[in-house]
Amino acid sequence: MASIPESHRDLLDAPVGSLATIGADGRPQASIVWFLAEGDTVRFSLNTSRQKTKNLLANPAANFLILDGANAGRYLELRGDVTTEPDPDYVFADKVGAKYGGVDLRNMDQPGQSRVVVTLNLVRVNAIDMSAR
- What pLDDT, in 10s, does the model give residues 112-121? 999 999 999 9
What is the pLDDT at residue 2? 87
36, part of any domain: yes
Residue of 34, 61, 53, 29 whose CA lies nearest to 114: 53
* CB neighbourhood size of 55 (10 A): 21
Instruction: Specify burial of residue 6 (Cβ count, 10 A radius: 0-12, 13-18, 19+).
Output: exposed
Q: Which domain holds residue 46?
A: 6-128
Q: Provide the CATH number for the domain around residue 107.
A: 2.30.110.10
1, part of any domain: no
Tens of pLDDT, residue by residue over 48-87, are 999 999 999 999 999 999 999 999 899 999 999 999 999 9
92, part of any domain: yes
Q: What angle do CA 43, 92, 89 make, to 5 degrees?
A: 145
